Amino acid sequence: MLRMNTVNPPGNEMQVATFLVTALEGEGIETTLFAPAPGRAAVVARIRGNGNKRPVLIMAHMDVVDVEAEHWSTDPFGAEVRDGYVYGRGAIDDKGMLAVNLETMLLLQRSGIALSRDVIFVANSDEEQGGAYGMGWLIDNHPDLIDAELVLNEGGRTRMVDGALLYVALQSAEKVSHVVDLIAHGPGGHAAIPLEGNAIARLGRALAALSSHREPLFLTPTTREFFTQLSRVWQDARERQAMTDVLSDEPRRGEDVLASIPVFDAVLRAGVSPVMLHAGIRSNVIPTEATAQLNVRTLPGQSIDDVVARLVAVIGDDTVDVVISERGIDSPASDFTSPLFTAIRETAAALHPSLVTVPYLSTGATDSARLRNRGMQALGLLPFPMDQDDEDRMHGNDERVPLASLEFGTRLIYGAIARVAQ
Q: Which residues bind Zn ion (CB under 5 A)?
A: 93-94, 154
* CB-count burial class (<10 Å; 0-12, 13-18, 19+) for 58: buried
* Cβ at position 394, least distance to Zn ion in Å: 8
* Cβ at position 61, least distance to Zn ion in Å: 6
What span, in angstroms and rounded, lies between the C-alpha atoms of 408 and 401? 12
Bridge partners, residue 169, by sequence = 157, 358
Q: Strand 85-87 vs strand 157-161: parallel, antiparallel, or unpaired?
A: unpaired
* Cβ at position 65, least distance to Zn ion in Å: 8
Residue 362 dihedral angles phi and psi, to the nearest 5°: -85, 150
Q: Which is nearer to Zn ion, 94 or 398 (CB)?
A: 94
Measured over the CA atoms of residue 74, residue 76, residue 82 and residue 83, the dihedral's sign is positive
Residues 6+ apart with CB under 8 A from 100: 383, 406, 409, 410, 413, 414
Residues 6+ apart with CB under 8 A from 200: 184, 186, 279, 280, 287, 290
Give the end-to-end CA distance of the chain in Å, rounded to a whole number. Answer: 30
| Position 33, amino acid | L
Please answer whether residues 18 and 4 qualify as being in contact, where contact means their C-beta atoms are separated by less than 8 angstroms: no
Q: Which is nearer to Zn ion, 93 or 330 (CB)?
A: 93
Q: Which is nearer to Zn ion, 7 or 217 (CB)?
A: 7
* Cβ at position 8, least distance to Zn ion in Å: 11
Coil vs helix vs strand at 235: coil
Bridge partners, residue 92, by sequence = none
* Cβ at position 381, least distance to Zn ion in Å: 12
Q: Strand 176-185 vs strand 320-326: parallel, antiparallel, or unpaired?
A: antiparallel
Q: Which is nearer to Zn ion, 92 or 315 (CB)?
A: 92
* Cβ at position 267, least distance to Zn ion in Å: 19
Q: Which is nearer to Zn ion, 154 or 174 (CB)?
A: 154
Measured over the CA atoms of residue 231, residue 236, residue 237 and residue 243, the dihedral's sign is negative
Q: Which is nearer to Zn ion, 129 or 338 (CB)?
A: 129
Q: Which is nearer to Zn ion, 94 or 390 (CB)?
A: 94
- Kindly tell me the number of DSSP H helices and DSSP E strands found in the chain: 13, 19
Q: Which is nearer to Zn ion, 157 or 269 (CB)?
A: 157
Q: Which is nearer to Zn ion, 156 or 300 (CB)?
A: 156
What span, in angstroms and rounded, lies between the C-alpha atoms of 417 and 422? 8
* Cβ at position 247, least distance to Zn ion in Å: 30
What span, in angstroms and rounded, lies between the C-alpha atoms of 102 and 81? 21
* C-alpha 316 chain-centroid distance: 34
* Cβ at position 309, least distance to Zn ion in Å: 33
* Cβ at position 366, least distance to Zn ion in Å: 7
What span, in angstroms and rounded, lies between the C-alpha atoms of 232 and 249? 19
